[in-house]
């Protein structure tokens, strides 16, 4: 995607069809899904036709501005112990770095890594296993982490151990490559954070602007296009469900029928599109 003088590309690690809709959105009933199954089975498929599971992209956005090469969210990663997620546990996929290379970007040439939040499917390639140790994958990058996000992850880790803190976040901090920032941090006049809390306390979306064109990378303030039509549907990992719902409604209100390109982190490919108003809610018009 071209946005003024910015180029945005998706770097897909995997297409995940492992989550049952009723458990992913625990407040929903089979009846709630009846009116959505038809459109969600059409292209781009947001439901997998055989299993009926949600189709979620696990991907990063590669953002190249005139000044910087930026990688936003880094997927699940390889060799990471994730005992609670069998399909991500000790994953070994030969997709992420090769696709980054195919886009013309070596790990050494990434200037910034930014994480919308510090969940395991957004921090994985922050590090890789080398000689038995977790080391930053992007040797020359500064990693932009929200300070509030880091503090809340540490607090959570004290009561419930968070393996991704140990293998994907802490090694970056220990290497001195992390920059802990406030929730209104701006990298420059083309890239800045936009607080979208609820999924996690310090969750941010990332706003991009160039020559009058604008885009926003959602992160996990919305997970599936069905939430445009059903903004009140709560995703099971939302830390503060009510705040997540309010944030999502505000986000959809703000960007509906606007020129702003929405880069929806977990939406099925092509993942880019625009939010439009429809009836009492919204819909997502995918860009072709």
Which range of residues in 121-129, 131-139, 226-234, 244-252 is near Zn ion by CB under 5 A? 121-129
Nearest approach, Cβ of residue 216 and Zn ion (Å): 16
Q: With CA atoms as reference, report the closest residue to 124 among 174, 71, 53.
A: 71
| Shortest separation between residue 73's beta carbon and Zn ion, angstroms | 8
> Using the rule CB under 5 A, which residue among 13, 48, 121, 190 binds Zn ion?
121
| Maximum C-alpha span of the chain | 56
Among 9, 149, 220, 230, binds Zn ion (CB under 5 A): 220
Q: Which segment (11-19, 80-88, 133-141, 215-223) binds Zn ion by CB under 5 A?
A: 215-223
Answer left, alpha or beta for residue 6, where phi above 0 means left and psi between -120 and 50 means alpha. Answer: beta
Report in angstroms how near the CB of residue 38 gets to Zn ion at its nearest.
26
Q: Three-class SS of residue 135?
A: strand
Q: How far apart are CA 60 and CA 75, in angstroms?
A: 6
Q: Which is nearer to Zn ion, 190 or 220 (CB)?
A: 220
Query: Which is closer to Zn ion, CB of 15 or CB of 213?
Result: 15
Token pair of 248 as six digits? 């999502």
* Residues facing 59 on adjacent strands: 12
**Span of 118-126, 175-183, 208-216, 269-277 interacting with Zn ion by CB under 5 A:** 118-126
CA gap 240, 201 in Å, rounded: 8
Q: Does 73 bind Zn ion (CB under 5 A)?
A: no
Through-space distance between the first and last CA atoms of the chain, rounded to whole angstroms: 10
Q: Quick one: 13 or 220, whose CB is closer to Zn ion?
A: 220
Residue ranges binding Zn ion (CB under 5 A): 121, 220
């Amino acid at each position: 995607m071209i946005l003024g003088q910015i180029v945005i590309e998706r770097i897909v690690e995997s297409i995940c069809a492992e989550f049952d809709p009723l458990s992913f959105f625990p407040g929903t009933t089979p009846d709630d899904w009846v009116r959505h199954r038809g459109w969600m089975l059409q292209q781009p498929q947001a439901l997998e036709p055989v299993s009926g599971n949600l189709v979620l992209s696990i991907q990063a956005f590669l953002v190249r501005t005139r000044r910087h090469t930026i990688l936003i969210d880094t997927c699940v990663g390889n060799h990471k112990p994730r005992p609670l997620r069998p399909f991500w546990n000790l994953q070994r996929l030969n997709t992420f770095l090769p696709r980054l290379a195919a886009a013309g970007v070596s790990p050494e040439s990434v200037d910034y890594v930014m994480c919308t939040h510090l969940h395991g499917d957004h921090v994985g390639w922050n590090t890789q296993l080398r000689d038995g140790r977790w080391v930053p994958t992007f040797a020359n990058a500064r990693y932009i982490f929200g300070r509030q996000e880091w503090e809340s992850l540490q607090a959570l880790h004290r009561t419930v151990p968070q393996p991704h803190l140990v293998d994907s976040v802490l090694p970056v901090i220990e290497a001195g490559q992390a920059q802990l920032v406030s929730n209104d941090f701006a990298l420059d006049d083309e890239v800045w954070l936009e607080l979208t809390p609820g999924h996690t306390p310090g969750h941010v979306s990332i706003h991009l602007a160039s020559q009058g064109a604008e885009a926003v990378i959602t992160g996990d303030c919305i997970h599936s296009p069905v939430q445009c039509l059903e903004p009140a549907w709560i995703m099971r990992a939302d830390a503060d469900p009510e705040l997540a719902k309010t944030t999502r409604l505000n986000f959809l209100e703000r960007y509906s029928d606007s020129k702003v390109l929405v880069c929806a982190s977990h939406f099925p490919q092509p993942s880019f599109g625009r939010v439009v108003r429809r009836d009492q809610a919204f819909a997502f018009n995918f860009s072709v």
